[in-house]
Structures are given as structure tokens and as C-alpha cells.
Chains A and B, each alone.
Chain A
Amino acid sequence: MSRVHVTCTINGDPIEFLCDGGQTLLDALRDEVGLTGAKEGCGTGDCGACSIVMDGRLLCSCLALAPEADGTTISTVEGLASGDDLHPLQQCFLEGAALQCGVCTPGFLVAAKALLDRNPDPTETEIRYGLAGNLCRCTGYDKIVRAVQTAAQTINES
């Protein structure tokens, strides 16, 4: 079976890769493109560790097929910082100790960015429901929610 040629934009860079027709987008990002920030925690869309944004939509890349990426614009956790400047969410996660083991962190950051893009001033409840698709087993979510609140404030004040 010949492989599928996919052309897309990832974190602002033009990217081409070959994939299998049935390969998940997560596997293609990790194995074909070499972006391992998105993690596979479940493979069933229940943990959010593989969250990315494709054409403006937040999704679990384990639940999309890689060929779907053709012609799209994708952003991953690797594209969140601009150069050495961390995104306010990244900075607030660091300063607020919102990560322990750190394996869910990329997914949380991508999902939180999508949340704030849609709703720049979310309530605590909106943050909790907005991030309900991302599992964290370490923190109890307290510091994650607070970090998103602080980041929202930072972004809104800048």
C-alpha cells in the first residue's frame, strides 16, 4: 500500500510528510514529523494528552487520521512559545507549580490556549468544564485552574 503524501502548516512551518491511510494524526506528528510534545495517554480521546489545534479546532490527535491534515494549519505545544518568550500560560504553569510529572502538561496548555482564545475571561467553572477533557492524575487540578486564571489576567492586562 503506497503511503499518503500530506502537506500542511505546523506551528507556522510548511511541512510535508508521508503517512499510512489509517495512521492517526498523533502517530504521524510523533513518528513522521518528530513532534513528540503531544502524548498518547489513552488512544481513545479520554485523556487529552494528545491535544492539538487543527484549522482553529481543538482536538485529540489520537482520534483524527493523519491524511485529514492535508491542507490544514496545525498548532502543537511546540509552537506555543515565540522563540525564547514563553506564552503567559507556560509562564503561569511554571510559576504556579501547575505541573508535577508534566506528561499531561502539553495537552493542558494547548487546551487552555484554545479555551482562552474562545473565552478570554472564563470563570472557574468554565475553566474546569473547558479542561474536563484533559486528565491530570498528579495535581488535583487546583494549581492548573489557578494558573489558567492568572494567565487569562496576564493576557487581558497586556
Chain B
Amino acid sequence: MLTAMRYASPTTVAEAVDLLGSDPDARVYAGATDLIPQIRAGRPEPTVMVDLKRIERLCAISSNGSTYTVGAATPTADICADAGLTAAFPGLVEASGLIGSDQIQSRSSWGGNLANASPAADTPPSLIVNEARAVIAGPGGERTVPAAEVATGPGATSLGPGEIIVEFELDQPPARTADAYLRLIPRTEMDIAVVGAAARVTLDADGNVAAAAVALGAVAPTVVRVPDAEAALIGNEPAGDALAAVQAAASAATNPIDDKRGTVAYRRQVAGVLARRAVSMAAERAREQGGQS
């Protein structure tokens, strides 16, 4: 119950790691947008709530010209307001902006979105197509892993005891590269994705695809990459048959479930549609970029 719970707000990563290491029932949180409703429903019952938002490093956005570093607890509202990130990763920033309402945007973060390990989370597919790396701190020090390796199943992560995500690293994309994210929800806002699709496309000087990444959310226990879609795009103009192949490959790559939010057949069909549209949108953005440079 909430009464017995202690609140802690460490200001350094080391302090947070110590707190977590000393109590197996301690829970970290940033936005708590999922955690507080879960606790009120009676599960889990943490002894200590460790608030990460007062650790400066976890709430900072910086760039050294070649790599962006984004604190894991940085509110997505701040991410959406960052011009550099928006220019470099428009799809990822859009995905960030889709998490809940303006109220939720003040609290939601990439770290929370990823570590919560919901298969339907909006930002993980975009983090993955952009090859984001997660910097993880724990009792054994810090390690850096691909963001794709953090969530291992619904509600399950590869984070060890006492480990937290500190920040994300994203390399500045090469020229003529852009990403896009689309999701399907029934009522335009305030829903959990029934299907999410992220794509990133790099075009060569002729407008053909030089590199591509496609990832789907909400259609399997974890985010699904679609290598067949990527292969179908490479070397081709992102149109016509190549896009049809993307759609077919994306549908085929899904492993969805029937639940209150969608059916297997529907998710499979729409995953293909959204993947095709996301690739098309990413390619369009990459083309515009080429035109400007």
C-alpha cells in the first residue's frame, strides 16, 4: 500500500544505484505514468520509490556534433522542443510526441518507455531503426548496449539488479537519411498503439535506397525488425514494387496476439500498411533533405 512506501530522490547516478542495490523491492521511476496506476491496483508493492528526475545527467540533451546524448528520464516534451533532435530524427521525435497527452509528455521519457517493456511502446521501434545505444549504470559500473537489447519480452528487460538506463546515444545520421514513425490507434490520441511502425531510409545520390531499417511495435512480444523489407528496398527506388514488398514482408514478420485492442489478422494487415507508409514518408523526408543540401 502507498502509506508504507518511502520516497527517495537521489541527485547522482551512483546514489541511485546504491539505493537500488541495497533494497531489492526498490523501484525506479521517472514519469511513473504506468507505475503509479499499477501500484494503486495493488501490484507491485515497492518499499522505496526512487525518483530519477533530480539526477541532472538523466534529464539532459547534448550533442558533440557527431553524437547526441539524451538523458533517459528527459521528458518527451523537452525532446519534442529540441530543434537538433527534431531535424536529425523527425520520426523518433514524432514517436516521442505521441506518448499520451501534453500532461503525460511532461513526464514520459525514452528510458521509461523502453524499460517499461510494453510491446506497444511508441519510441522503441524508432530508437531501434536509428540504432540508439543505451548507457546502463549498475553496481558493476557502466555499460553501453544497443537499445534493441534492453526489452526482452512484455514487462521483461535485460537490466540486471540495481541497473538503470542513464542515457541514450544516437549518432548523427548520414546525408539523405530520415526516419518516420506511424501508429494506429482508434481515437487519434490517448491510446495504446494497436500497431506501430518505424522506418529509416538513406538514399543514394540517384534517389535509390542505400540503407534501410524497418521495425514494428505491438505485433510481437518485443519490437520486430523486418530484414526482408530492408533487403527489398536496398538498391531500389522506394516506390511501387519495393514498397509492396515492404508491406508484405512487414505483415509476414509479425507475431501478434488477439487482445482487447486488436486481432491477429488486423494487426498483421495494418503492420504492412503502416510499414509501407512509414518507409515512404521517411524516403520523402530523405529526398527533401537531399534537395536542401
Contact = CB atoms under 8 A, between A and B. Distances in A.
Interface of A: 1, 4, 20-24, 43-46, 48, 51, 57-60, 62-65, 67-68, 70, 111, 114-115, 129-134
Given A22-B5, A43-B40, A45-B37, A63 B101 contact: no
B4 A64 contact: no
B190 A22 contact: no
Interface in B85-106: 100-104, 106
Contacts of B39: 22
Given A63-B33, A64-B32, A21 B49 contact: yes
Nearest to A132: B189
9 contacts: A22-B1, A24-B36, A65-B32, A65-B49, A68-B51, A131-B102, A132-B102, A133-B104, A133-B190
Interface residues of B, number: 30
B112 to A, nearest CB: 12
B263 to A, nearest CB: 23
A48 B102 CA distance: 10
Given A21-B7, A63-B32, A129-B189, A48 B103 contact: yes
A70 B184 CA distance: 39
B2 A115 contact: no
Contact of B31 (A63, A111, A131): A63
Contacts of B269: none
Given A46-B190, A65-B32, A59 B107 contact: yes
B188 interface: yes
Contacts of A23: 2-3
Contacts of B3: 1, 20-23
B7 A130 contact: no
Interface in B1-22: 1-7, 9
B4 A67 contact: no
A22 B2 contact: yes
Given A57-B77, A64-B32, A45 B4 contact: no
A23 B39 CA distance: 11
A30 to B, nearest CB: 15
